[in-house]
Amino acid sequence: MAELNTVARPYTKAAFEYALDKGNLDQWSNMLSVAAQVVQDSAMAQVLNNPALTYEQKAEVLISVCEAQMDDAGKNFAFLLAEKQRLALLPEIALQFEQLKAAQQKSVDIDLTTAYELDDSQQQKLAQALSTKLGREVKMTSKVDKSILGGVVIRSNDLVIDGSVRARLAKLAEAMNS
């Protein structure tokens, strides 16, 4: 079977283009996020995987739980996913939608790992430098991990910048052993 992200991509693209056209990116983002959380619930997964239920019944169950967050277009999207037996793709669709939304809004989420707590001015300088380098607004979350010894590790989707002392020591050891 094809990878989940490959199968989810056309649904994500269609939802994103519709939401962008209607100016509802935030609403669709919220709706997809809630629906993704609902389908990941173990009790809901049992209901949605029940072969005795029709796709209409499965969609109606999902919609009844998420109704406060879903507009008519969202309900239609849920019915389409149910008809194509793709409700399980909602977590991947929500993830891809967020990535498209971030690209559209020229923003990027960065996870920053440091050996020691950075003060606000250091975080602002780093965020500004990353914003300039990436050409996007940077939303940064940071955490402390003393095992990296020093430096920083920056992660964003498929981008990893490892400037930690631990990584540099590992490269030095590898160079010395080869």
Task: Say what the pLDDT of residue 172 is.
Answer: 87
Which of 150, 126, 152 shows the shortest CA–CA distance to 139?
126
Under a CB-based contact definition with an 8 Å cutoff, are residues 114 and 140 in contact? no
d(CA 61, CA 125): 48
Q: How much of the chain exceeds pLDDT 90, in percent? A: 53
Structural domain boundaries of the chain?
A: 4-102, 107-177
Does residue 1 register a pLDDT over 60? Answer: no
Q: How far apart (Å, rounded) are the C-alpha atoms in residues 128 and 110?
A: 12
Is the pLDDT at 157 greater than 80? The verdict is: no
Top-tier CATH class for 4-102: mainly alpha
pLDDT of residue 156: 83
- Asked whether residue 168 carries a pLDDT value surpassing 90, the answer given is no
Task: Note the pLDDT tens digit of each residue in 24-36.
Answer: 999 999 999 999 9
Question: What's the pLDDT tens digit per position in 53-110?
Answer: 999 999 999 999 998 889 999 999 999 999 999 999 999 999 999 989 988 888 888 8
Amino acid 65: pLDDT = 92
Host H or E run for residue 35: helix 25-40
CA torsion, points 33, 36, 41, 45, in degrees to nearest 10? 160
Residue 2: the pLDDT is 60
Three-state SS annotation for 71-91: CHHHHHHHHHHHHCCCHHHHH
pLDDT value at 158 more than 80: no
